[in-house]
Chains A and B, each alone.
Chain A
């Protein structure tokens, strides 16, 4: 379980998260929606300790993420993350991209790592791209590579940061299909997203972020189709 408890986070004078609390149970898919600058992505960065927090607590399987004694490198193995700008490693082939972390972080043998990487690449539909360099692929393919690369670490949770926002419209579908597949397989996910249809259909719950706090959270279909908070109503009427 991921438990975010009253988290505050500031960048200089700017307070981005102003007391956010959120519990995500194993197997649950939670989508986070909201305007840009509302703190959605920052929350993900705080959950896997890429960013520090100023106040509050984040627990992942009862381990305090930001405690001094926590081995953050080790903790991050549990938390797969996919970024808006996919961030593939351009100097490695697709297969090397996916096999690297299992090999050097989990200390698997090369053969084992490659086997897992191949499996995850096939999983996301890149079975024919092993020896291609990522820069030769489309954004959608690179994003699926990023998903496979994260999955190859066998994470317990996936944190997805606007993974379709930087894609051409015709490539969005293939990435969302991949995420749908993961959700069906029971992967626990927190998805920061602008895809309202995806949030409604795939996630269990939806949280609406407004100026650093969760303004509304509830069952996915209800929040998207029948929001209670006037702020959520206003936001949704704009993005539709």
Chain B
């Protein structure tokens, strides 16, 4: 146990690490936004029972939820590459994360939607509300509350999982850390600092999310 810590080289490279962290956040936010949009469409397809759409959605969800994220990223980078579709590391990771996010969130949305009792529809109807008004004022606000925390979890998950970008040479936080440590041989120091950065990012996301939840959702559910 005669490892000597040398932090100086790490501190000199903080700006680069922060750049990497920015890319991490960037790719996760984008993956989340696109994932949500696709998940809404997939959830509708799954609930509509219109055969071809439902089939596509089911296959999507099953693959996304039952294969490793690592495999998705490899497929996006090397797999598509074999067919002549060459994605940049950033795009490959983005595609994989969107694919997985959409798969998980589809089930979250579907569950949230089905958890609203049908009596809420009858009550709204009986007051003379149109279908659109019922969704806008009664169903969606309640659904949003129920899926909010699972969505936050999914976001944190994709921040952490984007670290797999390291495997296809992406310069997000892990990739940057990997490159810097191989130049300086200060492996432990760099990875400790990177871990702290991940921790801070996800904690900030969770904190922000609970602040927002308190503003958005006043009543209990």
Chain A residues with a Cβ under 8 A of chain B: 45, 48, 50, 73-74, 76-77, 79-81, 83, 85, 87, 89-93, 100-101, 104-106, 133-136, 146, 149-150, 153
Contacts and interface: CB of A to CB of B under 8 A. Distances in A.
Interface string B208-221: 00000000011111
Contacts of A45: 122
Contacts of B123: 81, 83, 87, 89, 146
A130 to B, nearest CB: 13
B127 A153 contact: yes
A237 B177 CA distance: 82
Contacts of A93: 218-219
Given A90-B219, A100-B127, 14 more contacts: A50-B125, A50-B126, A73-B129, A76-B125, A81-B126, A87-B119, A93-B219, A101-B127, A101-B128, A104-B133, A105-B128, A133-B220, A150-B126, A153-B127
Contact of A101 (B129, B142, B219, B220): B129
B145 interface: yes
Given A77-B128, A153-B127, A83 B142 contact: no
Contact of A83 (B122, B138, B219): B122
B128 A76 contact: yes
Contacts of A76: 125-128
Interface in B191-221: 217-221
A83 B221 contact: no
Interface string B126-137: 111110010001
B220 A135 contact: yes
Interface residues on B, range: 20 to 34
Interface of B: 117, 119-120, 122-123, 125-130, 133, 137-138, 141-142, 145, 217-221
Contact of A89 (B120, B125, B133, B218): B120
Nearest to A88: B123
Contacts of A104: 129, 133, 137
Interface of B is mostly: helix
A77 B142 CA distance: 24
Contact of A91 (B128, B133, B142): B142
B219 A133 contact: yes
Contact of B129 (A91, A105, A136, A146): A105
Given A90-B221, A93-B219, A135-B220, A79 B137 contact: no
Contacts of A101: 127-129
A124 B70 CA distance: 61
Nearest to A75: B128
B128 to A, nearest CB: 4
B122 to A, nearest CB: 5
Contacts of B119: 83, 85, 87
Contacts of B145: 91
B217 A105 contact: no
Of listed A89, A133, A150, residue having the most chain B CB within 10 A: A89
B219 A135 contact: yes
Contacts of A48: 125-126
Nearest to B220: A135
10 contacts: A45-B122, A73-B128, A77-B127, A81-B123, A85-B119, A91-B145, A93-B219, A100-B137, A105-B133, A150-B127
A79 B145 CA distance: 31
Contact of A80 (B122, B126, B138): B126
A74 B128 contact: yes
B178 to A, nearest CB: 46
Nearest to B138: A89
B5 to A, nearest CB: 52
Contact of B120 (A87, A100, A146, A149): A87
Nearest to A74: B128
Contacts of A89: 120, 123, 138, 142
A146 B119 CA distance: 13
A66 to B, nearest CB: 15
A73 B128 CA distance: 5
A85 B120 CA distance: 10
